[in-house]
Every structure is written in C-alpha cells, then in structure tokens.
Structure 1
C-alpha cells in the first residue's frame, strides 16, 4: 500500500522518469498494480491546468487507474455544518429530521470513504496487487483511504497502541495540515477557506467499524471523541502545525508534551479501552449499504443527549468483564 500526491504533468503532459522507474521497480514481471485516485476523472483532468494531472497509461505499464471521487474542502465543511445545525434544532419534526439528514449528505461522505477504503483493501487482500493511493496534495482524502484500509486489513492497527501508531504515521507524519483544517471550532460559523473536517470524517468511519465489529477494536468511542477534541483545542503538541517541517521549526517536541504519553498513563489508559475486545486476526469487511451507515450519536448529539446512563452501563460491563 503506497500513497503520494498527484503527478505534476501539467497541460503539456510532462513525464517524470524517476516516478516511472520507481513504480516500474515495485511490480515484478507479470504483476499488476492499481492507482486509486480520490478525485473524479474530470477533476483529475482539470488539475492539469494548474500543473497537476494523472499518470500516463503508456508510461506506467502494469498499472491501472481507478477514480473514486471523495469530496473535501468546502463541500465537506458545508455538509458538516448542515448536520450540526440539524442536530442543534430542538423543534425539528421527524419528517424534517429525515429530510435534512439526507440533504446534509454527511452519511453519504462516510459511505463513500468506507467504500473507497474497502476497494483499496480488496485490491490488496483478494487481488494480491499493489495499490497506490493519491488525490491532489496527498494529505487529505489520500490519508483517509490509506488509514481506513489498514484498519480493515491489519488487526495490529485495531489495538490501542497500533491505532496510535497509525495516526502518527498516516496523519501526523504524512502531513495532514491540522492547523489549517482545524483552525477554529468545528461548529464555528466563521470558517477559513482551508478548513475541512477530514479528520472527523475518518473518526466517524472508525466509529462505524467499531459499531459493526464491536469486539474487534481494542479502543472505544471515548478515544475517538478525545482525539477530535484535541485536534481542535489541546493542551498537547501532537496535532500542532501542518507538517513535520513546521513542527521541527517550532520545536514542538521539545516544548510540548505528547498526547500519547498522557493517554498511555495507566490511570488514563483504561478509560479508552473496549472491555468487550477480543483479538480478531481476520480482515473486517464493513457493510456500506445505506441502512448500515448510522449517525454517530455519541458525537453529533453529545451535548444534547445525556450520556450518564450510557457511561454507567459501560462501567457495569467493565466490572463484569474484570470479575470474570
């Protein structure tokens, strides 16, 4: 499983011998690979105007390009805002709730992300092929797909330690611009041009996996909520800046504490563990049919629906498990 940014072919269809040689050496003779582009074919063609583009078919023999368009940027932010407004409306009727939930298109974004990740995982697991994922810059929907695909395929990523490593590798070190994407409150009406809840979409997809496979993830919903909160406002330096270069220049590691160090303290760690967890060595294939994708109530209704009884129930489950 590989990831990158788009090839910079531009309007003149430039070629990169280095890229061609690199991808050529990855495939053995007779093998094939897939380039999974998270843009539509039309968007990829239009990117040539600004210097981007797609791979030349003739220059990359053995590689087949697949387009699976995933929205990001303003489209994703507006979708999220509409859903937040709906969840904050105390006078909404059932009919209007269902209509506005559908028109927000948030669950559609969740379905699209999971479907694309499943496609990447299927190419890897069932076809035995190499997969290269990229969109435009390779720091948004690209990371969304590669991280979800690894969760689906690799049981090590579904442990608490493995999930932390996945986030560190696929989101933080890979250069997801947290400072730009999470500049203000996620629910703020004053939004910057580059704000977008891509990381929240990832967390929502992880929650969907945990709901469909309640025994297969070692961590629970509380960890996902904590990660969201810290991505937007944190006492720790883990999600600061936009990339490793900025963190190095700002000396983030030297001047701040790590969120992981705090989460892994024994007195804190147990709060985020799933008491029902049982190691599952198999691939977990989520159902992406519309009726299987549900609203993440623990997040979107967290300030509306009291969580006391749910927390008490989970506490009782932990006591029962520990007693056995």
Structure 2
C-alpha cells in the first residue's frame, strides 16, 4: 500500500545569488494526509448462495436484476431423478392431505352410508317398538314382533360398524399423510443446500452459472442483496491500520465511472490480519446515490488529517538520515530534523526547523 500526502499551494524556490544553489524558506502549508486503500464496492447487505456439494445446476428460476422475496426458491441443484422424486413426494403429500380432509370424497362416501344406516336403524327401531306393543295386545304374533326387533338390532350393528369404519379410515388417511410428510422431510434433508432460497427481500445482483453447468462445492451460484445502498470493502496495509478510525472520510474512484470521485465514511474495522496480503479489511458506507455495480474495483484515500497547517519542505531538500542544510548566519550547516509524513514531493517537519528558516539543496 502507499500513503498519499495531498498539499495545497505550490512551493516557490529562490536561488541564492552568491552561492548559485537553490534555497527554500521553511513555511507552514495546508495539507491533507491520507492512507491509500484498494478493494471492491459491494451492496450494503449481500449474500452468496452456494451449493453444499458439487452438483449440477438444474434450474435457475430468476435472472440478474429480478426482485425476490424472502424464502423464494431461486435455483435447484442435483440430478434430474432427484428432482423428479421430489416432485412426486410433493404430489403425494398434497394428495394425502386432500384425502385426509373431512370433506374428501372417501370420507364423504362413508358419511353418506352412515347417515343412511342411521335412518334405517331409527325406522327399524320404531317399527320394532310398534310390533312389540301390538304383540302385547295380541294384535300380531310374537314371532313377527321378534323379527322386527332382530332387524332393528342388525340395523344398529350396521350403523355402529360404519361409524367405526369411518374412524378407522380417517386414522389411516392421517397416518398416510404423516408418512408422506416424513418421506418428504427426509428427502428435503438430503437435498438441503440443493434448493437455494433467498434469505431476504432484495434483488439478484449476479448469477454465476447457467443451467446444466456444474456448481463446485462452496462456489457461489448467485449473489443476492439489498439494492440502493452500497459499501466499500477495502484492504489497508498493516503498517497503516493504527491510523484508521471509524468516521474518517474516504474519497474513492472506480473504473465504472472513470475520472469521477465519490465519498464514503469508515464504519467498520475488522481486527483480523489477512496473512496473505498482510493487510486489514475495513468497510466504508458510500454516501453517493449513484447506481454502482457490485464487485467493481475501487481505489481510495482514507483521510487521516484534513486541512491542517504544518511546516513543509520540498522532498528533494531532505538528505539521507533526515537532515538538511540549514543557513546559520553566513554558513550552511548540516542539521538533523524530525519528519512525519512523506510523499513524492513534500515532507512534513515536526522538529529541527522553524518557519522562516532557510534551507539549501546541495548535491
């Protein structure tokens, strides 16, 4: 990473008449100190949907730019036979659920038979009671009365038998529904990670694969996020991370909008060193409302100090070991100084020089 020092104003170099060497009068100047960082611009909230195993991408149900709802199925992975089996199980569950409802055709048929049996029993029971009374009065033979009572008993048995049959059938249909649901749940567990659903109400930013392509393990299939707001994911060199604080301004550029500068604010510092790059990741909320493109590369300056007054000298006046030739009376003496921020053209001085001192650039 490189550190940028932005200064306001242009140095005026004078030439000593006698010694014919360039000299410079030390003075205060306005400067902005910044730390360079690079990275990507991303949605403020985003998710990579991945497969939990290497599988074929069977179905892609959305395209880039589509608005999606939470838990909406976006893609299906696996083999065609697995997809067919899943469809069959879903249909079986739907059918079993329909059969188990109180108003299903199977149960309604039994209800009608039960109602007919109830009516027949009530009629037979009434007839048996009438014949029994007539037999007491010797109006009919006892044998006929006994026959009507037997018919009433048979009707009652049929009525109760149909009621028990109804309960048994209802329980059997409920068990069938439970079994199919368990089979579907087991299938879903096996296929967990193969049916990709949206975790949020948002938009599809990127679809990385096409139907029929192999989705490698843990590789993203698509990126989902919340539209409208963006953030920067930046890498800061480990030597500069101590200077970074939340709330600092960030000015950045992206090739998508070449030559245009945008603003952001540091809002998160992830305190874990990335060993490969020897850098830390920081995040910054983008303040502009432009339509940015996720994963576009950015280059940024994180402002450490802004519009401050400091003693400055041209960098080419500084000697090795942080010293300069300082005019003392009529002589030039090599004097050690203390520096702070350096860039290609300017050096900030924190000790050893004062405003108005004159220094020379000698070979």
**Class of the TM-score when normalised by the shorter of the 2 chains:** under 0.3
Asked which structure has the greater CA Rg, the reply is 2
Whose helix proportion is higher, 1 or 2? 1
Whose strand proportion is higher, 1 or 2? 2
TM-score by length of 2: 0.17
Which is bigger in relative contact order (C-alpha 8 A, separation at least 6)? Answer: 2
